[in-house]
Amino acid sequence: MSAIPDLSSISEAHERVSPFIHRTPVFSCKSLNAVAGANLYFKCENFQKIGAFKARGGMNAVLSLSAAERSKGVATHSSGNHAQAVALAARENGIPAFIVMPSNSAEVKKAAVLGYGAELIECEPTLQAREDTLQRVIEETGAILIHPYDDYRIIEGQATAAKELIEDTDVIFDYLLAPVGGGGLLSGTSLAAHYLSPTTSVIGCEPAGADDAYRSFKSGELIPQTNPTTIADGLRTSLGKKPFEIIKKYVGDIVLAEDKEIIAGMQMIWERMKIIIESSSAVPFAALLKNKDRFQGKNVGIIISGGNVDVNKLPF
């Protein structure tokens, strides 16, 4: 696929993945509305399979493969949610998955990938080693690479979260907020809003310590992230080319939040909403509180991207 996904390709992706994923609930919370001075609607992808929205894109990418491609299996490198997403999608499709993970990945994440029946290939914990190892695995097995975000099939899949949020809520959103790391979720969210709720402005929310999307968006040129320093570990990655192309066209703005604001927002959501969200998922709420005037009295949808947290190592 070589063109930006249109509405029918997103709708087809949604039909394709729906039997395999959860239609997650939309939560509201009076006390957080009072804190924010806005009407907030949280799309709870922390309740999604594998605990994160990445199940959507991974599933769509694998389901989009031809029979010939599927027969060879799929491969990726990831230390996080994308690894589990690809492993789950492969299992559901009865095909092999080869997952390259840095040797210092959390044992619980390795166990999850193995639990889905994937083949785990460990490598040195450097980006170079990850890419080299993945390349070798693909050459040896013929497996198809499933990139975590620089892929229209992934973007289509991630778009289905915002599509459901728009369909399942009886308000017109003034804003939709999503975190941005590689850009798969944000670009998909902006496409869903563009096609299904064109008066809605989509805003990307990024940690100040990994602000490449912000700088790229403001300058119009893709600026890679070097040395990210943020607690939001899901958002340290560099923005991808295909997501950036979409974000430039369809995203209204990108705003930043500091780590201490992210941690405070995360704790507030835990305490008031009684749901477990990962730090990356707190970035939109933190950014909203930092820019309260802008969102005053507005209807704001927020994608809660995931809930995979080590509860023994909390930042508060």
Dihedral pair phi/psi, residue 207, rounded to 5°: -70, 140
Span from 94-102, 131-139, 220-228, 271-279 in contact with its own copies (CB under 8 A): 271-279
| Residue 244 engages its own copies in binding (rule: CB under 8 A) | no
Compare residues 51 and 183 and give the one whose CB is closer to its own copies.
51
| Residue 19 engages its own copies in binding (rule: CB under 8 A) | no
Selected from 9, 46, 60, 201, the binder of its own copies by CB under 8 A is: 46
233, two tokens: 């570990």
At 109, which helix (H) or strand (E)? helix 107-115
Residues 55-67 as b/e (b if ≥16 CB within 10 A, e otherwise) read bbbbbbbbbbbee
SS3 for 256? Answer: strand
18, two tokens: 């729906």
| Residue 276 engages its own copies in binding (rule: CB under 8 A) | yes
Compare residues 75 and 309 and give the one whose CB is closer to its own copies.
309
One-letter amino acid at 255 equals V
Distance of closest approach, residue 44 Cβ to its own copies, in angstroms: 8
Compare residues 51 and 240 and give the one whose CB is closer to its own copies.
51
One-letter amino acid at 37 equals G
Distance of closest approach, residue 233 Cβ to its own copies, in angstroms: 17
Q: Is the dihedral of CA 260, 266, 267, 272 positive or negative?
A: positive
C-alpha 196: how far from its chain's center? 20
Residues 24-43 binding its own copies (CB under 8 A) are 25, 27
Selected from 47, 149, 250, 285, the binder of its own copies by CB under 8 A is: 47
Distance, in Å, from the CA atom of 208 to the CA atom of 122, rounded to the nearest integer, reads: 31
Compare residues 131 and 271 and give the one whose CB is closer to its own copies.
271
Selected from 3, 139, 221, 316, the binder of its own copies by CB under 8 A is: 316
Q: How many alpha carbons lie under 13 Å from residue 148 in its C-beta half-sphere?
A: 25
How many residues interact with its own copies (rule CB under 8 A)?
18
Compare residues 51 and 181 and give the one whose CB is closer to its own copies.
51
Distance of closest approach, residue 309 Cβ to its own copies, in angstroms: 8
One-letter amino acid at 27 equals F
Binding site for its own copies (CB under 8 A): 25, 27, 46-47, 51, 267, 270-271, 273-277, 307, 311-312, 314, 316
